[in-house]
Amino acid sequence: MKTLLKAFLIIMAIAALAGTAFADTPGDPSDPQATPPPSPAAPQPKPPATPPIQIKVNDNVNFRFGLLLQPQADFQENASEQTGENLMLRRVRFIVGGQVAKNIFFFFQTENSRLGGAIGTASKVISTGFQTIDAVAEWRYSKPLNLWAGLIYLPTSREALKSSASEFMIDVNTYAYTATTALTGTGGRDTGFMARGYFLGDHLEYRAGLFQGLRQTGSRNAFRQIARLQYEFADTEPYALPSYAGSYFGTKRVITAGASWDKQNDYKGPTADLYVDVPTAFGSALGTATFMRLDGGTFVPTLGKSNIFVADGGVFMKGSKLGPWARYEQRNFASPNSSKDEKRYLVGLNWYPYMNNFNIKAAVGQLKPAVGNKQKQATLQMQFFYY
């Protein structure tokens, strides 16, 4: 653990130096191109926002491009109190989105995940290559009916639908994709078809779809069926494609309550959640509470039966551009597997010199299993993002 703490102090110092390097600095007075700062008595107008990198063919055809890069230093203890140390790329993504015809939209991205990391007992992974993680097309027939097809974010919870590039915490919660992983999806996605629509002035949203799920021999078993209802009590979020923003930094007042039903054969996974992100005098405050009940049945017996509760919250302080946050996670298994119960605690601090385009997030946490030693972790993540 001493190694972990020393390493964490070192990477925090590196983060501080990196932050200084990225901070705004005045122009060189000796540079003839340098512009003196405007007089307080005559403030200059703000320049127009930089448009996204895109190709516009006509009013109904356009392509937009982006990149996500998340270098990460990660230190985690195992049950034997040995510390695994990794310097890796948590995510590298190339992003393309846009429109190919009237009311026809698409989103595509590839990812190389945990590049350079050695997770658990595995050796270093450096050359796995990119994989497709999103490839979805949407036909916006009308507000009440939008049709999706492809590799889709599964609507199992609000947390599972948050964008990794704007997640306020250092990552999605531990259990957001547990069922999807067990049902052979990838990163919270799976192939299939889904309908989405809006009612009551865009405040009520539904999603319902059939997805490939786990296929048995011969692929003759039922598809995975997921349905979700979400109500927006304040501002609305229509046409989020493919995911919701993880935070709005005070630009919107979003208060949502949602429920999902997830089923394949005798597997069941109902979920209820609440999400709040509201402006404040100092910036914004946000939080998410999620309750899940997973029952693998005889279809996915390794999943077992468990109740999962996750609550997290944080604040964004626009003056300092800092964002402290905390998360609590709990999973309780049904008898005779109660020895697998666990609790997780995580606290972190984010710095947003350029909001989601460039930020630094640091977190420390602890896994407390019902049986065995406590396991500590420390993570530092930098983000470079444009889309």
pLDDT (0 to 100) of residue 49: 59
Q: How confident is the model at residue 24 (pLDDT cuts 50, 70, 90)?
A: very low
For the chain, the domains span 143-386
pLDDT band at 33 (very low <50, low <70, confident <90, very high): very low
pLDDT digits (tens, 9 = 90+) for 36-77: 444 455 555 555 555 678 999 999 999 999 999 999 999 999
Chain-centroid distance of CA 217 in Å reads 33
pLDDT of res. 20: 45
* Beta partners for residue 136, in sequence order: 107, 150
The answer to whether residues 348 and 326 touch, using CB atoms and an 8 Å cutoff, is: yes
Please give the angle made by the CA atoms of 126, 87 and 244, to the nearest 5 degrees: 85
**What is residue 26's predicted lDDT score, i.e. its pLDDT?**
38
CA 271 to chain centre: 18
Q: Is the peptide bond before 353 cis (omega within 30 degrees of 0)?
A: no
pLDDT for 235-281, tens place per residue? 999 999 999 999 999 999 999 999 999 999 999 999 999 999 999 99
pLDDT at residue 332 in the model: 98
Report whether pLDDT(232) > 60: yes
Partners of 264 in beta bridges: 267
How far is residue 153's CA from residue 164's CA, in Å, rounded to a whole number?
Answer: 12
At 58, which amino acid appears? N
pLDDT at 35: 42
Residue 81, pLDDT score = 86
Would you mind telling me the total number of residues written for the chain in this entry?
Answer: 387
pLDDT of residue 127: 73
Parallel, antiparallel, or unpaired for β 61-77 and 375-386? antiparallel
Tell me what the pLDDT averaged over the chain comes to.
Answer: 90
Give the pLDDT confidence score for residue 121 in this predicted structure: 63
| Cβ neighbours, 10 Å, residue 199 | 12
Both tokens of residue 351?
A: 């710095």
The strand pairing partners of 354, in sequence order, are 358
Q: Which of 369, 363, 321 is nearest to 346 (CA)?
A: 363
Helices (H) then strands (E): counts for the chain: 2, 18
Residue 139's pLDDT band (cuts 50, 70, 90): very high
CB 323 within 8 A of CB 343: no
Supply the pLDDT for residue 125. Answer: 82
Sorting pLDDT into bands at 50, 70 and 90, what band is 87? very high
Q: Which fold has domain 143-386?
A: Porin (2.40.160)
Beta bridge partners of 146: 140, 196
Structure tokens at 3: 């190694």
Give, rounded to a whole angstrom, the gap between the first and last alpha carbons of the chain.
39
> Mean pLDDT across the stretch 109-133?
85
Instruction: Report yes or no: 376 and 351 within 8 Å, Cβ to Cβ.
Output: no
Q: Cα separation of 227 and 251, whole Å?
A: 29
